[in-house]
Amino acid sequence: MKHIIAAGLTAICVTTGAWAQSSVTLYGSLDAGIAYISNVGGHAKWIEEQGNMQPDRWGLKGVEDLGGGLKAAFTVENGFNVNNGTFFADSTSLFYRQAWVGLKHDDYGQLSFDRQYQPSFWAVYPTDPFRGNEVLSPIAAADLAGLRDRATLATQYVSGRQSNSIMYQSPEMWGVKLYAMYAFPVTTSQPIASTSGNMFDIALTYQGAGLYAALAYQFQHGGQETVSLGQTAAGLPLPASTFNLVSTEHYTGALGYRFGIVNVQFNYAYNKVKTPANSQIVTVPGVGPVGALSSLVHPFSIMELGTTIQATSADVIEVAGIYRSVRGVQDNTLGIQIGADHSLSKRTSVYMRAGYMKNNGIANMSWPGVAAADGSKQILGVAGMTHRF
């Protein structure tokens, strides 16, 4: 009996020790607010908007110590709409935001697999005052404009996350960190029906003495997409057409400098058509041929300048100006957004946002999820709260 008890206690101690070396964390945020947006389908709207400051999400992340400095790690992260409880962006994907597993070592870095953020995203993220928010970030609006702007429909944009990917992150050495990713083709049905080609993405970042600097390069092989190519005279979207996406190179640079309570931020991205447009004719149902594929393929650039001010320990002010320019056509957008955040506690905050966008030519950039007509302008005002757990 003594031997049995001793063996049992030993097993408990060993198991407890193993548990002590592993951890799983549940985390997330809920964000809701009221928004006023002018010129939506020619009318102003008051809507309940979510994910304005923080994305509505919940996730699980875990680490297991395997010994010798080696650890297993994973993250799965869901996105949802707090106003109605539905999935965000893709109703077919439980973990739309992240779903990856990998190994990491303090001396050699991390190797991870599956759906994760791209190196180009990590290069820009610290230099956007609104942190690339998918609902209310000007840079997200400029990037996602590629989904609607006919002049760039076949020029691929940086989506921020990639499925079927392998990524390496180096340990930080003297403030320098390397990110490198290779991704295999992906077919999705939401938020748009598309098939992507293979992708390579690499970024190098530096941080130290108040300075942040980053360079990134991404190459996307050609793919295919199915979206509407315009609107009827009544302002309704035309039936969807399927067309080829051309191979695209993305060059990105980012800078930030913090002095005192002020962080000045800047980023620039150039999206270059790699393969020449062919003479394919795109047929729009009910309308007929709309011309050569080249009408959908133009290089474009996005430039953002902003600042983040830590006014008090509980108050932050953000300002960002954005300019999206499509080469070869009179198609550009100038916008500005300001924000103010006030922390009620470590987990709960209230916020306000205000913004303005002016489209020129056939540009129709708008805040994500809100439609805008070609050459239109929009005014935005939002107030809300967010809670993190």
The CATH number given to 28-388 is 2.40.160.10
DSSP 155: B
Q: Both tokens of residue 356?
A: 């303005």
Looking at residue 17, what is its pLDDT? 45
Q: Both tokens of residue 245?
A: 């996406």
All residues at 6 or more sequence positions from 334 whose CB lies less than 8 Å from its CB, including other chains:
321, 322, 323, 357, 358, 360
pLDDT digits (tens, 9 = 90+) for 263-293: 999 999 999 998 765 555 555 555 555 555 5
Predicted TM-score (pTM) of this structure: 0.90
Q: Both tokens of residue 51?
A: 């994910």
Residue count (the chain): 389
Region for residue 146 given its phi and psi (left: phi exceeds 0; alpha: psi -120 to 50; beta: otherwise): alpha
CB 56 within 8 Å of CB 98:
no
d(CA 254, CA 385): 30
pLDDT digits (tens, 9 = 90+) for 337-370: 999 999 999 999 999 999 999 999 989 999 887 8
Task: Label the pairing between strands 176-183 and 281-284.
Answer: unpaired
Looking at residue 20, what is its pLDDT? 44
Q: What is the CA radius of gyration of the chain?
A: 23
Looking at residue 40, what is its pLDDT? 76
Say how many Å lie between the first and final Cα of the chain, rounded: 47
Instruction: List the domain boundaries for the chain.
Output: 28-388
Q: Both tokens of residue 185?
A: 């083709």
d(CA 383, CA 340): 10
Looking at residue 227, what is its pLDDT? 83
Looking at residue 232, what is its pLDDT? 62
Looking at residue 10, what is its pLDDT? 47
User: Closest Cα partner for 153 from 370, 375, 363?
Assistant: 363
Q: What is the SS3 assignment for 376?
A: coil
d(CA 185, CA 163): 8
CB 270 within 8 Å of CB 248:
no
pLDDT in tens, the chain (389 residues): 445 444 554 444 444 444 447 999 999 999 999 999 998 767 888 999 999 999 999 999 999 999 999 999 999 999 999 999 999 999 999 999 999 999 999 999 999 999 999 999 999 999 999 999 999 999 999 999 988 888 898 899 999 999 999 999 999 999 999 999 999 999 999 988 999 999 999 999 999 999 999 999 999 999 989 887 766 656 566 778 888 888 999 999 999 999 999 999 999 999 999 876 555 555 555 555 555 556 788 999 999 999 999 999 999 999 999 999 999 888 999 999 999 999 999 999 999 999 999 999 989 999 887 888 889 999 999 999 999 99
Strand partners, 73: 63, 102
Looking at residue 282, what is its pLDDT? 57
Looking at residue 15, what is its pLDDT? 44
